[in-house]
Chains A and B, each alone.
Chain A
Amino acid sequence: MANVYINGVGMTKFGNRKESLQQLMYEAVSMAIVDSRIENFDALYVGTMAPEAFLGISNISTAIADYCGLNKIPAIRIGDNPSAGGSAFLQSYFAVCSNIYENVLVVGGEKMTNISTKKASKILSGMLSENERNYGATATALAALVTRRYMHEYGLDRETLAMVAIKAHTNACHNPYAHFQKKITLEKILNSKIIASPLTIYDCSPISDGSSAIILSNIKNKNSIKVKGIGHATDYLAVHDRERITEFIATKIASRKAYEMAKITNPIKQTDVSELHDAFTIFEIINSEDLGFFKKGEGGIALKNGETEINGKIPINPSGGLKARGHAVGATGIAQICEIVWQLRGEAGKRQVNKPKIGLTHNIGGFGNNIIVTILEACT
């Protein structure tokens, strides 16, 4: 099996974009190609959750190959949920480490703002179980149920939870690709409209358009970032079928596999920066515990103590995370990888973490039930 390296990255600014999905993907792909200085690619992997539903486009893999001028390239679409980006990365990793392909282009993207928020929410609700959908539950409703239960089990308060969003927006001020690049205050969060009690709009990642791309190779070059570990697991579809709803077992299993592969026995000491899937504020707290950074129930305390700030002991989501960087669903898993690559290369500007050597990404599909973890290493 070959070593797999990330040799190029690129992404668009996430937000309410006027460009089409094809244009956004082309923008990200072009940037990654220039970054890599590689000209020939053996395959194109397209990670996207629902272009059929959002845009009425099928055959997206071929459409992107065609739009980008990659005539005759093997092209495939990967993903059916918000870990489409992570899934596309995973499948392309398998192709490169098997030496079947040498250089592959992986692009994640989603165009979601061309329809109403209600319609977008309905499409996203497709990832819930039938029973949950039948009662009118949305992803936000499920996150609210998880949040209330977590508050009950661990005494987390509303103000501490809000700090996830405050940190996200503060970090994103230094991220030119972020959907939101403005700070928010506790006061604003506490006074805003409740969507599903106790969650407000500021507890939820936005609906964004955007694309991100990476190039995987089995050849190392000057700027290469090595893929040290990968892990993937699923869990029961319905939240109510899980024994506990304040943890994601799929994160625990996927990260355990990734740590084992990367020979990491102490994630606290042996990882330096991470990009976790904070689709909702409570997720960042839960994820940080499930990944082994903090004991169960202490993720909120650590956040409150500043441990997860860019200059903290365990920097989490220096990009602004899904909350402020944005969540163009299929693009997210790849965008997380882009950020970690920039961090490991020392190219993250004002949001740079101090000399990281190992970074982690964590991408959730469905409501906490299809999770991919990657471990990336700077090549010295």
Chain B
Amino acid sequence: MKDSKNLTISKCECGKAVLPPRNICPKCGNKMKKIEISNSGIIYSSTTLYSVQEGFSFPLNLVIVEFENKVKVLCEYKGNKTLEIGEMGKITKKNEKYEFTI
């Protein structure tokens, strides 16, 4: 199955890569470039919140996903499976926010 490269990240010459994309490298201060990588990633950690801020409903599943280039991002998982560290999934952008799916 072809792995689609449809996740935009920012990468710096120094090697640092971040998500969401940004202009200035937080490691060395140089200008970052936008590159496309696969939106497939591995669950690095996850948690379910039962006490949430205004504007959010509980339970709220948050997950840190790791991608190629050692990029990680925090986003939401809207499903109801129990997430295990090391499981693979994808992130997509919905209404300006990343959503993780298995």
CB nearest to A122 among chain B residues: B53
Contact B53 A118 (CB under 8 A): yes
Selected from A118, A196, A237, A241, the residue in CB contact (under 8 A) with B47 is: A196
Contact A141 B49 (CB under 8 A): yes
- Alpha-carbon distance between A101 and B42 when the two chains are bound, in angstroms: 54
- Alpha-carbon distance between A118 and B56 when the two chains are bound, in angstroms: 12
Known: A136-B62, A239-B74. A152 touches B85 (CB 8 A): yes
Known: A152-B45, A245-B45. A136 touches B52 (CB 8 A): yes
**List of B residues within 8 angstroms of A236 by Cβ:** 26
Known: A148-B47, A193-B50. A137 touches B62 (CB 8 A): yes
Contact A197 B85 (CB under 8 A): no
Contact B20 A131 (CB under 8 A): yes
**List of A residues within 8 angstroms of B44 by Cβ:** 149, 240, 245
- Alpha-carbon distance between A122 and B18 when the two chains are bound, in angstroms: 25
- Alpha-carbon distance between A243 and B51 when the two chains are bound, in angstroms: 28
Contact B72 A241 (CB under 8 A): yes
Selected from A132, A195, A197, A241, the residue in CB contact (under 8 A) with B18 is: A241
- Alpha-carbon distance between A146 and B20 when the two chains are bound, in angstroms: 20
- Alpha-carbon distance between A303 and B92 when the two chains are bound, in angstroms: 42
Contact with A along B72-99 (1 / 0, CB 8 A): 1111100000000100000000000100
Shortest distance from the beta carbon of B91 to any chain A beta carbon, whole Å: 12
Query: Which residues of B, 25-43, contact A by the 8 Å Cβ criterion?
Result: 26
Selected from B54, B62, B70, the residue in CB contact (under 8 A) with A141 is: B62
Shortest distance from the beta carbon of A294 to any chain B beta carbon, whole Å: 22
Contact with B along A328-344 (1 / 0, CB 8 A): 00000000000000000
Selected from A121, A136, A148, the residue in CB contact (under 8 A) with B60 is: A136
- Is B46 positioned at the interface, with any CB of A under 8 Å from its CB? yes
- Is B7 positioned at the interface, with any CB of A under 8 Å from its CB? no
**List of A residues within 8 angstroms of B50 by Cβ:** 193-197
- Is B6 positioned at the interface, with any CB of A under 8 Å from its CB? no
Shortest distance from the beta carbon of B44 to any chain A beta carbon, whole Å: 7
- Is B101 positioned at the interface, with any CB of A under 8 Å from its CB? no
Contact B45 A137 (CB under 8 A): no
- Alpha-carbon distance between A237 and B20 when the two chains are bound, in angstroms: 13
- Alpha-carbon distance between A196 and B47 when the two chains are bound, in angstroms: 6
- Is A238 positioned at the interface, with any CB of B under 8 Å from its CB? yes
Contact with B along A123-142 (1 / 0, CB 8 A): 00100000110111110110
Contact A241 B20 (CB under 8 A): no
- Alpha-carbon distance between A91 and B18 when the two chains are bound, in angstroms: 33
Query: Which residues of A, 231-283, contact B by the 8 Å Cβ criterion?
Result: 236-241, 243, 245
- Alpha-carbon distance between A152 and B64 when the two chains are bound, in angstroms: 14
Known: A145-B62, A148-B45, A149-B44. A140 touches B51 (CB 8 A): yes
Contact B72 A136 (CB under 8 A): no
Selected from B19, B56, B60, B64, the residue in CB contact (under 8 A) with A239 is: B64
Contact B26 A241 (CB under 8 A): yes
Contact A195 B74 (CB under 8 A): no
Contact with B along A210-243 (1 / 0, CB 8 A): 0000000000000000000000000011111101
Contact B46 A135 (CB under 8 A): no
Known: A135-B62, A135-B74, A136-B62. A196 touches B45 (CB 8 A): no
**List of A residues within 8 angstroms of B23 by Cβ:** none
**List of A residues within 8 angstroms of B75 by Cβ:** 135
CB nearest to B55 among chain A residues: A136
User: What are 25 residue pairs bridging A and B, where the CB atoms are less than 8 Å apart in the complex?
Assistant: A118-B53, A135-B74, A135-B97, A136-B52, A136-B62, A136-B76, A137-B62, A138-B52, A140-B49, A140-B51, A144-B47, A145-B45, A145-B46, A145-B47, A149-B64, A149-B85, A194-B50, A195-B51, A196-B48, A197-B47, A237-B26, A239-B64, A240-B74, A241-B18, A241-B72
Seed contacts A195-B50, A245-B45; 15 additional CB < 8 Å A-B pairs: A135-B76, A136-B49, A136-B53, A136-B62, A138-B49, A141-B49, A141-B62, A145-B45, A145-B47, A145-B62, A152-B85, A197-B48, A240-B44, A240-B64, A241-B72
